[in-house]
Structure 1
């Protein structure tokens, strides 16, 4: 169905990948994984023809197959409506049926001279009826798909331009699912999906009969939807295939690393033994030569020295042919929250709070307490008020009614989902310099822990990718020394290794955390309590399994 042969791509001196080859067969569900910036999106764009490769070829079977592609941004016309974008019927089935009936009646009453023209008119009306009927069927399917993706309330005449980023992502996914292409290429399809939409998409993909190539950082989603993993390795710049889901891939990678480390240690021990023999022979030969001028004895010494040289050459040839490299350490974000100041036992108290915009409450009668050290996951449908609640606790919104109190010694750090707190004209160096007193060298060393190296620290924020901005916001939170973290989708743009680093950092954080997050794997590792935000209310639960289902 899809075959890539020796695909290579570079931008100047930056080689993304080279010699990439793989096959996706009918019915395959394949996850494409790798750290941010390794070229996953570029590879998808090459497959769909939006970008040319430097070398290699892409072949579809059959040749006229056209994959359905969901990119990370949505392309649409300025005045396009939801109905236009989804290709839904602009007129009803009844009107098209009436035109066919009129054409049939005119044909029945026509004389021989008019018959040919009226037959053609009848055929056109019938063809239009078939097209409208198909669009009517598509409209019924669209209603189910939009509901599954949490867009049930979206008016079909709504302009696409006014939708939020998350709504646009889900709308693009809806059109793709309605088109039912034989090959799906999905680039981060789970971003901005709530739990119910995620589960709906997982079920849809399990019932989908075509093939799918999915780029995702959602580990649970990959575990539930794919049967194979393609790893794009930034060190080798090649793709390696692994059978099974993401957990199977991790197990295989661990076994690979353990096997390579064992082989590396064995070879290092053999090298040490051979080099010790070489040193012993060379030393013995030298001691003989220094201790005598007797020709026969010196001849023996030269023979021993030659044995040492032969062993050295043999070892060098062996290492040239079969050197075992030490398993490389992948370059992960090094995130640590250190010297967290203490706070009181009750960190945040909400008493009968209503909060909203323009006097209209989004949330009502919220009474909750956050205690020191808790890790609270905010979950709920998109648009239910999770961001509003975080903004309230961050002091960016005032309650309409009720009271919000922060405990003694609480210092708030707020991570905004859209990263609007970053000035696009500033650089990462500027951002950190504004919140901490340190030398240029110390700031650059600090930013290096968040994967900003060399002159990257002087790139304007507006030119950074979403993933790079996410790392920068996290760096600023670390630098400010807060003890209450309010995080709005903090891992949306982080790759899987960086998510794992973030999990470890949060586990070691001495303060309190409230995080709006949809990554179910992360929540199970992180949360001590769940706040479910829905229908204007906030309810507390112990775990994901306790949440109400529709």
Structure 2
């Protein structure tokens, strides 16, 4: 049985239809992504599936006892807990068992209760261990660290965290809860690249089903095997990850185009026969063809060409209104000519970036550059160079100084040391992550007029329509725009700049996948230089010819010549080599004891061996005590002593195991 089944779902707000005709089934161990343009209703659909919202029509059924974890785009939950307390919630049962084990340890010291306590303790301890009682603390630490939280933040009250931090906290709790179905709405929005890569690895080992809405194409390549493309009339289903979807989508569109052309040619041939014979000797055959042509046109117009060709008329008759009388040959000809090629393509923004002039060969050069603010050094960039037509991706953790670096180039923030030397004939175009260059009180018309005062009002409206702002949208104030709409407006202004150096700070943030694809194509064709700050690894991998990585721990900028994929392979190889080297050193130390290490490391390794020896001894002692307790002496005083000794050894063993784990971190 499927985890969730939905039949003929639709959703409307007043006269505004969001989506219709959605029928779906989520099987066990599903790895599904829902994609589609902004505003198509993806988030609304997720809320309907988890029964947080009612559909206008249709039904949703869930498997009995199904556990669902739902991560909304912004976690608005209120909680009196700290971050750590919130992550303990999924382990409430284990914590209760832990408390009961402690009570039993006390009871085992009482001669009157020792027999019953020992028997119950053994059963409960086995259950506690099987359910992860000795590892859940480590799991919490692993998940919080993976999602970018530091130990200093563990005790922070959730009420004091930012919206993005609360969303990450909820994601941590959901991952630790291990529901049957994990539903994630834009889970990578508040994660840096390191955290996203950790999440990819975690989800690849996920035992349950996942349903994910995301605009992160690289992420989708790693974690899903089915794509549901959402349209106004339902779903287009594709097997495979995002890259497979792109290939299949192109092939599907091409097949539909060929099908349309073949069908239109057939209709035109039928029309020729009808016009030649409608008044002649073969009038009966001509009228029969015209009747069939009328019915076929009605089906195409009402349910689409693909449905009209793939279904029998007995199936179509319930969906097609055939009350219209037979068309005249002239009307049939007009309606055949009016048929348009079917396409699931959503409206696309029309963006073109043109460099008005050629820059010098050296676009940007730094000398002993240090980035940061007074009293806070972010990183040392040293001497780096950006040349004409290069596309460089600047990557690093959140807060490492990427945006600050761009603002230093723009001379909005002075360097702490060193200098930035800009090349000749430069015209810089800047896309700000927070869109701070947009004025909230201005309308869209006024924003465009501010950078292109020579444009007529009608031309501005036509220009805005290329960026999917139609009708009265032109007169909206910037303050009411969504994040995606602000991004499109910022791109519209950037395109009027004629820049030959683009400084782009998270340009795909809030853009839907169709808009990301267009932006990628345009940047790929741009005849200028690009310095790109982005968490969008798909975009980086397609465009970047070199990578600048901020090493936050060391406070320096590393440079790498090549694509992101090449960079990633090299990073993995370096990590593997470091791990192997570390393993070789450990082996050498054990076999020869001649490796020179710091005094601290020697003491630590000595303590590891001491702890391991003690653990071996205590495990042996515990086994002996357990054997004696299975066949206890008749003397109750001796039984009590055995129980007390068992509890003492067990506790000491647990403490040593915890110390052993800390020594190996």
Query: Same fold judged by TM-score > 0.5?
Result: yes
C-alpha change, 1:322 and 1:233, in structure 2 (3 Å) is closer
Where in structure 2 are the equivalents of 1:209-248 lying within 5 Å? 209-234=207-232, 236=233, 238-248=234-244
Aligned to 1:543: 563
Cα distance between partner residues in 2 of 1:416 and 1:205: 32
Cα–Cα, structure 1 residues 480 and 56, in superposed 2: closer, same or farther, change >3 Å?
same
1:368-407 counterparts in 2 under 5 A? 368-407=384-423
Matches within 5 A, 1:498-537: 498-535=515-552, 536-537=555-556
For the 8 Å contact 2:368–2:380, the answer to whether it is kept is yes
Distance of 2:152 and 2:185 partners within structure 1: 23
Q: How does 1:70-89 map to 2 (within 5 A)?
A: 70-77=71-78, 80-87=81-88
In 1, distance between residues paired with 2:501 and 2:160?
Answer: 33
Q: How far is 1:361 from its partner?
A: 0.5
Question: What secondary structure sits across from 2:496 in the alignment?
Answer: helix
The alignment status of 1:473 with 2:490, answered yes or no, reads yes
Q: Distance in 2 between matches of 1:217 and 1:268?
A: 36
Deviation at 1:336, TM superposition (A): 0.9
Mapped partners of 1:142, 1:484: distance in 2: 45
Alignment of 1:177-188 (within 5 A): 177-188=175-186
Give the structure 1 partner of residue 265 of structure 2.
269
Q: Using CA pairs under 8 Å that are at least 6 residues apart, name the structure with larger relative contact order, 1 or 2.
A: 1
Change (3 A) 1:163 1:351: farther
Deviations 1:451-496 (Å, cap 9, x if unpaired)?
1111122233332222112111111211233222111211121121
Q: Is the 8 A contact 1:483 1:512 kept in 2?
A: yes
SS at match of 1:87: helix
Give the aligned partner of residue 308 of structure 2: none
> How far apart, in 2, do the equivalents of 1:59 and 1:403 lie?
63
Show CA shifts across 1:217-261 (max 9, x none): 222222221122222113x2x123333222333333233222221
Matches within 5 A, 1:68-147: 68-77=69-78, 80-87=81-88, 100=103, 104=107, 137-147=135-145
Unaligned runs of 5+ in 2: 306-339, 576-665
Corresponding residue for residue 207 of structure 1: 205
Q: Alignment partner of 1:181: what SS?
A: coil
Deviates more, 1:535-544 or 1:272-281: 272-281
Q: Distance in 2 between matches of 1:275 and 1:155?
A: 74
The normalised TM-score by structure 1 is: 0.84
In proportion to residue count, which structure has more helix? 2
Match of 1:352 among 368, 372, 387: 368
Please point out which of 61, 64, 71 is paired with 1:59.
61
Alignment CA distance shift 1:57-1:314 (3 Å): closer
Separation in 2, partners of 1:105, 1:310:
95
Match of 2:450 among 411, 428, 434: 434
Distance 1:490 1:4, change over 3 A: same
Structure 1 alignment gaps of length 5 or more = 111-118, 286-301
Quickly say closer, same or farther: Cα 1:105–1:249, change in 2 above 3 A.
Answer: closer
- How far off its partner does 1:398 sit? 0.8
Aligned length: 516
Native 8 Å contact 1:87 1:135 kept in 2? no
Q: SS of the residue aligned with 1:452?
A: coil
Q: Is the 8 A contact 2:392 2:548 kept in 1?
A: yes
Question: 1:414 is matched with which residue: 430, 433, 450?
Answer: 430
Q: Which moved more, 1:431-440 or 1:459-468?
A: 459-468
Is the partner of 2:230 in helix, strand or coil? strand
Deviations 1:315-350 (A, max 9, x none): 323333467362224311111113533322222222
Q: Return the alpha-carbon distance in structure 1 between the equivalents of residues 520 and 26 of structure 2.
A: 33
Compute the displacement of 1:406 (Å). 2.0
Deviation at 1:186, TM superposition (A): 0.6
Native 8 Å contact 2:355 2:499 kept in 1: no
Match of 1:327 among 325, 342, 361: 342
